[in-house]
Amino acid sequence: MTAKKRSASRRTSRTRRSATLRKHLQMPRRISIIFGMLPIALGAGAGAELRAPMAYAIIGGIVTSTLLTLVIVPIAYTWIYHFLSSKTRKAGG
């Protein structure tokens, strides 16, 4: 295995490990927020039509931020690193 492949393998391993760590730290908190907002979002009765949009916004924001944090950011980090490393390889040799 070449040094470049070992470096890429270590980097991928570190990215996956950090994503797993973030998942374990954030998911219980985010799931509890979503489940806490569900009764408000699905609620009936007096004033439910006023509180439901707030619950929808909170649930949507939590889901969006979770996807960004756990999926999009690690992928973007990997792509940017590969792009920058390929630029330096082309410039250097």
SS (H, E, C) 6-40: HHHHHHHHHHHHHHHHHHHHHHHHHHHHHHHHHHH
Least confident piece of the model among 13-22, 35-44, 72-81: 13-22
CA dihedral 37, 58, 73, 23 (to 10 degrees): -20
Task: Report the C-alpha gap between 13 and 52 in whole angstroms.
Answer: 42
Containing 52, the helix (H) or strand (E) segment is helix 48-67
More confident residue, 20 or 54: 54
Encode pLDDT of 24-68 as tens digits.
Answer: 788 899 999 999 999 999 987 788 888 999 999 999 999 999 999
pTM of this structure: 0.69
> Which residue in this structure is represented by tokens 């909170």?
58
